Amino acid sequence: MFNRSKAKIDDLVAKGAQRFDTIGDLVAASDVIITMVGYPTDVEEVYFGAGKILDRAKNAYLIDMTTSSPSLAKRIAEEAEKRGCHGLDAPVSGGNVGARNAKLSIMVGGKQSDSDAVLPILKIMGSNVVLQGGPGAGQHTKMCNQIVIAGTIMGVSEGLGYAKSVGLNPETAMESIGGGAASGFQLLNLGARMIVGDFTPGFYVEHFLKDLGIALEEAQNAKLDLPALDLAKKLYEGLVAEGCSKNGTQVLYKKYAA
């Protein structure tokens, strides 16, 4: 294992994991390399940086699970193939709860044969692993996921904000709407946190804003007008400006409930 913050893997090393001090040394000793970092710039650095993944990998499977740019995923896959390796993009959904319980939804982009080869590994982490198409398709699917979440979390925030503003008990309102057509993860999990003022992160605002930026750029490339996505990005930019970048995405509720 390698982590930029070494202390974060101390418990795993204590259980038998092998720590490497450089990415290059880890890669040289591995047949399958899985990356999950912060931003597309981080992905580019760990793959294309001197002495790092693409420089040191030999006939390896390279799986990037970061939510990143579809075009970067394609570039990695192309370079991996030139070097005798196998590149896949495999972003996830499910948050910290899904990760802890190995119930992530994993969206794979790459060749069928490569996906089949690493499927047993991905199934250790996720309960829903689907090959979506060639390189970049996993990232495009994750953009679909984030676009749906963007609209949904705005609706949850507005609905619960409305309930509070008109004098309803948000908890009893949740009982009713949570058992009907409005039910879903964002309402039942994050909505419940909203009404008690729990804005601890399951997924950081700053990372969600990064994802919204990628999705909006991809939508513009496809000549799509997605007004809900555009509004969500502006709202979360406002939250970052207010110092909420390290809160969970449910902090959007503050915009609707004084």
Q: Which residues are catalytic?
A: 142
What one-character-per-residue DSSP string does 177-206 give?
HTTSTT-SHIIIIIIHHHHTT----SSBHH
Strand partners, 130: 107
CA 183 to chain centre: 22
Contact 164/257 with Cβ under 8 angstroms?
Answer: yes
Whether the CB-CB separation of 153 and 249 falls below 8 Å is answered with: yes
107 DSSP β-pair partners? 130
Alpha helices in the chain (DSSP H): 10-14, 23-28, 40-48, 53-56, 70-82, 95-100, 112-125, 137-165, 170-177, 185, 192-195, 205-221, 227-241
Quote the CA–CA distance of 195 and 32 in Å, as a whole number: 43
- The tokens for 5 are 């913050």
Tokens found for residue 257 = 């409930």
Query: Rounded distance, CA 54 to CA 78, Å?
Result: 11
Contacts of 114 (CB under 8 A, 6+ apart): 61, 86, 87, 88
- Signed CA dihedral, 69, 75, 81, 85: sign only: negative
